[in-house]
């Protein structure tokens, strides 16, 4: 490995894949948070500070205070500070913003190691030695973990699912809702000794063009970008409307799927228009293939003032109609009432923001959660007028297959 070049708390070295860095940290007994994409990745280790947002995305003052704290840390260090962000599906539930001590950012054939020794837990002792050790171990690894799940151990309850769909369609028929997204879980037996780190590696390798993520006991590969802000350029890439792979024309011509997709695009466009006067998107959606399924996708773009609080923008968007419904607030209430268990981070938000206002935030979909010696995969479908319980059940199974394909 080449000697790293050091500049103002940032070192640059040979590139290391996110999967290698995650497994290197795991070998050292360290927890990591990761976001890996086709062009760049970030692996974050340690904790300089954690900002706990008691009211999640529902308290704008708290979100503004958190972003201001990030900006103060940036002034303290004299450079941009990056933070990992995790918000559950329910916008009123607590979220976290974590400022890691170490950020490994890989892009353009280099890996930058960023030291962020700020905040309530700041302690620089041995941090550079630790970073060098992680990079050395990562350079010697070519991780190909064994399957992380073995057999499925749940018994899908089609009767209860049909009852949920019937009640959702009743709400839509009475014009209380235009759309609602309902989800269900599949339970698997995990392989002995595996964790979310191994699941992240397998998902990252299986879906290299997706945004793979590792947050706590969740690992996933998200196909859906909620919000990107890059030097004032704003992008959202919602998905809605799904068919099995190979049924492209059926998907494009489906009135039900195009209507469902249009509801999502409309909601995000209206939310972003509160921050930008030039929001635009194509008239027709494209088709994105993700494993055994494909989705209608629209890319929405615009510009905002640099330095805008990305959390304020996120609060207007999330949860989107792609995972909640329309109208948003009532959809969330009905989901909480109808579903068997809280979604927690599933269908929430994972990603990063920084003190300059840049953001890379994704829906926490296509994931596995390790809990109580079990591996849970949860998937959802959008219900609109004309939805059918049998076909929607099949869609959840297809989405479950898109995760198990990478893990088994």
In a domain, 200, yes or no: no
* Predicted TM-score of the model (pTM): 0.93
Q: In the predicted model, is pLDDT for residue 4 greater than 70?
A: no
**CA dihedral of 133, 138, 144, 150, whole degrees rounded to 10:** 40
Residues 279 and 374 in one domain: yes
In a domain, 384, yes or no: yes
pLDDT at 346 over 80: yes
Residue 300 lies in a domain: yes
- Regarding beta strands 225-230 and 349-354, do their DSSP bridges make them parallel or antiparallel, or are they unpaired? unpaired
Burial of 3 (0-12, 13-18, 19+ CB in 10 A): exposed
Same domain, 71 and 171: no
Residues 240, 124 within the same domain: no
Tell me: pLDDT of 81 over 60. yes
The Cα–Cα gap between 85 and 57 comes to 11
The number of helices, as runs of H, and strands, as runs of E, in the chain is 10, 24
The enclosing domain of 239 has a CATH number of 3.60.120.10
Residues 99 and 171 in one domain: no
The SS3 call for residue 183 is strand
**5 pLDDT band (50/70/90 cuts)?**
very low
Based on the domain organization, do 245 and 125 belong to the same domain? Answer: no
325 lies in the same domain as 272? yes
Q: Verify that 132 and 273 share a domain, yes or no.
A: no
Do 370 and 401 lie in one domain? The reply is yes
Q: Are residues 130 and 156 in the same domain?
A: no
The gap between the terminal CA atoms of the chain, to the nearest Å, is: 33
**209 belongs to a structural domain:** no
Task: Mark whether 161 and 124 lie in a shared domain.
Answer: no
Instruction: Quote the CA–CA distance of 62 and 68 in Å, as a whole number.
Output: 10
- Is residue 207 domain-resident? no
How many structural domains compose the chain? 2
Q: Are residues 235 and 375 in the same domain?
A: yes
57 pLDDT more than 90? yes
- Rounded (10°) CA dihedral 44, 50, 55, 57: -30
Mean pLDDT within 386-403: 94
Query: What pLDDT, on the 0 to 100 scale, is given for residue 125?
Result: 67
Q: What is the pLDDT of residue 13?
A: 66
User: For residue 323, what are the domain limits?
Assistant: 150-191+224-407
Clarify whether residues 97 and 177 are in a common domain.
Answer: no
Question: What is the 3-class SS of 325-351, one letter each residue?
Answer: EECHHHHHHHHHHHCCCCCCCCCCEEE
Residue 3 predicted with pLDDT over 50: no
> Would 133 be classed as within a structural domain?
yes
Q: What is the pLDDT of residues 125-160, one digit of tens each?
A: 678 889 999 999 999 988 788 999 999 998 878 999
Structure tokens at 27: 């070998």
């Amino acid at each position: 490995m080449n000697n790293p070049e050091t500049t103002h708390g940032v070192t640059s070295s040979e590139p290391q894949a996110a999967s290698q860095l995650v497994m290197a940290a795991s070998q050292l007994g360290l927890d990591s948070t990761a976001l890996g994409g086709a062009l760049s990745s970030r692996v974050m280790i340690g904790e300089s500070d954690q900002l706990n947002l008691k009211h999640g995305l529902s308290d704008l003052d708290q979100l503004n205070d958190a972003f201001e704290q990030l900006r103060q840390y940036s002034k303290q260090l004299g450079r941009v500070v990056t933070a990992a962000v995790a918000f559950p599906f329910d916008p009123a539930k607590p979220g976290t913003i974590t400022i890691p001590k170490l950020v490994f950012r890989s892009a353009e054939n280099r890996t930058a190691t960023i030291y962020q020794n700020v905040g309530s837990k700041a302690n620089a002792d041995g941090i550079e030695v630790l970073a060098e050790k992680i990079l050395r171990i990562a350079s010697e690894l070519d991780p190909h973990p064994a399957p992380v799940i073995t057999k499925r151990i749940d018994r899908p309850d089609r009767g209860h699912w049909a009852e949920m769909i019937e009640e959702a369609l009743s709400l839509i028929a009475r014009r209380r809702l235009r759309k609602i997204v309902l989800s269900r879980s599949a339970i698997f037996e995990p392989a002995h000794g595996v964790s979310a780190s191994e699941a992240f590696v397998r998902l990252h390798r299986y879906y290299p063009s997706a945004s793979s993520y590792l947050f706590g006991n969740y690992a996933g590969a998200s196909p859906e970008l909620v919000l990107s802000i890059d030097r004032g350029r704003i992008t959202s890439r919602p998905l809605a409307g799904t068919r099995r792979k190979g049924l492209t024309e059926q998907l494009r011509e489906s009135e039900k799927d195009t209507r469902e997709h249009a509801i999502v695009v409309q909601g995000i466009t209206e939310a972003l228009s509160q921050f930008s006067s030039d929001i635009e998107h194509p008239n027709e959606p494209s088709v994105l293939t993700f494993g055994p399924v494909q989705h209608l996708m629209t890319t929405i773009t615009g510009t905002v003032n640099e330095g805008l609080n990305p959390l304020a923008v996120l609060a207007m968007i999330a949860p989107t109609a792609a995972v909640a419904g329309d109208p948003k607030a009532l959809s969330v209430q009905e989901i909480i009432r109808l579903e068997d268990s809280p979604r927690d981070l599933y269908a929430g938000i994972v990603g990063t923001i920084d003190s300059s206002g840049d953001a890379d935030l994704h829906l926490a979909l296509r994931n596995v959660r390790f809990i109580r010696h079990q591996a849970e995969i949860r998937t959802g479908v959008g219900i609109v007028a004309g939805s059918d319980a049998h076909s929607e059940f099949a869609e959840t199974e297809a989405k479950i297959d898109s995760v198990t394909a990478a893990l088994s």
